[in-house]
């Protein structure tokens, strides 16, 4: 497993991180029992993953807690999150702190390595900075948080307005954001600043449904071609990116997409999610594979570098439920 330093945190982490949310939620999304999900988390750890990302909203903190029990806390970097609002409005800072301590109980930890404010919308950023960030800094001083983070909400903020602001504020030591080969906006708006300021980055949406479900990719290509955003030939093909994948020597589109995200300057950890033990090793291998050829990267930028917000789908269970 390749490793990297997570921004200015000083923590050395695996470049492949296990994401315990998304549609799979380490197996909960496909009906696995919590004990089976915990075995999947442990499998990832046994294969070299040292960064695990969960959240109270995912319902997987207790699963992670069961999986990491007995492992030296210094061996792993655990990232979790608290929502800051619901349909009735924003939460007071005290509720975020209460959520932090609830997360610690679920994780069976006295402190969490990275604690994020979860899915912050642009209109709420000032409130988060003024009211919640100081409370988290106090918790960091008390030792319950090692590093403070923030995550965006890609389906609701496809131009990444909030993240573009947040990376300039030093309170955020780690950020989680969307980046993939058809959504390259962070290359211009985020990564230059995170590198300059030493902000650690956790990459979500590197694959998600658009590169794991052929019908989702074909649907996106149809929509983009109809708008004139890409060439019509992409919509006419049953395997729109097949030629690029083959020319790059990748074994699959999933591997191709992970390799693209992994080797972008400024991308520290690429998160992968799965509920299938067989996919754990495949995803780790893909993220650890060499960079795509420079000529392929030039083609990807030329074809898709102008696109914004493509493939930023909500998880399956959130698409079915009213919001």
| Domains of the chain by residue range | 12-207+262-288
Q: Residue 318: what pLDDT?
A: 64
Q: pTM value?
A: 0.95
Q: CA neighbours within 13 Å on the CB side: how many for 81?
A: 28
Residue 269's beta-bridge partner residues?
202
The per-residue pLDDT for range 298-308, each reduced to its tens digit, is 999 999 999 99
- Residue 132 dihedral angles phi and psi, to the nearest 5°: -90, -45
Mention the CATH class of domain 12-207+262-288.
Answer: alpha beta
> Is the CB of residue 72 less than 8 Å from the CB of residue 45?
no
The per-residue pLDDT for range 7-40, each reduced to its tens digit, is 999 999 999 999 999 889 999 988 999 999 999 9
Residue 19's beta-bridge partner residues?
53
Of the chain, the end-to-end C-alpha distance in Å amounts to: 38
CA distance 23 to 319: 10
The per-residue pLDDT for range 160-190, each reduced to its tens digit, is 999 999 999 999 999 999 999 999 999 999 9
Instruction: Name residue, tokens 């989702």.
Output: 216
Q: Residue 313: what pLDDT?
A: 86
CA distance 75 to 80: 16
């Amino acid at each position: 497993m390749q490793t990297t330093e997570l921004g200015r945190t000083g923590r050395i982490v695996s470049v492949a991180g296990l994401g315990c949310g998304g549609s799979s939620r380490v197996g909960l999304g496909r009906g696995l029992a919590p004990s089976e999900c915990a075995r999947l988390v442990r499998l990832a750890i046994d294969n070299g993953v040292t960064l695990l990302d969960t959240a109270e909203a995912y319902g997987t903190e207790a699963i992670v807690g069961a999986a990491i029990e007995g492992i030296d806390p210094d061996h792993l970097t655990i990232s979790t999150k608290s929502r800051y609002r619901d349909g009735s409005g924003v939460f007071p800072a005290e509720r975020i702190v209460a959520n932090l301590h609830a997360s610690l109980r679920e994780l069976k930890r006295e402190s969490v390595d990275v604690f994020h404010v979860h899915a912050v919308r642009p209109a709420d950023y000032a409130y988060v900075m003024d009211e919640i960030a100081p409370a988290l800094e106090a918790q960091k001083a008390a030792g319950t948080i090692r590093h403070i983070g923030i995550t965006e909400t890609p389906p609701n903020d496809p131009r990444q307005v909030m993240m573009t602001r947040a990376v300039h504020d030093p309170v955020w030591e780690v950020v989680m954001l969307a980046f993939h080969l058809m959504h390259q906006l962070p290359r211009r708006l985020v990564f230059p600043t995170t590198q300059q300021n030493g902000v650690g980055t956790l990459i979500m949406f590197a694959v998600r449904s658009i590169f794991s479900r052929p019908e989702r990719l074909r649907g996106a290509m149809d929509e983009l071609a109809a708008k004139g955003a890409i060439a019509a030939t992409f919509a006419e093909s049953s395997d729109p990116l097949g030629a690029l994948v083959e020319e790059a020597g990748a074994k699959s589109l999933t591997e191709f997409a992970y390799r693209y995200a992994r080797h972008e300057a400024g991308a520290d950890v690429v998160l992968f999610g799965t509920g299938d033990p067989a996919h754990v090793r495949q995803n780790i291998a893909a993220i650890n594979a060499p960079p795509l050829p420079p000529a392929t990267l030039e083609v990807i930028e030329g074809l898709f570098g102008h696109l914004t917000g493509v493939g930023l789908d909500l998880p399956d269970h959130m698409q079915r439920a009213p919001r």
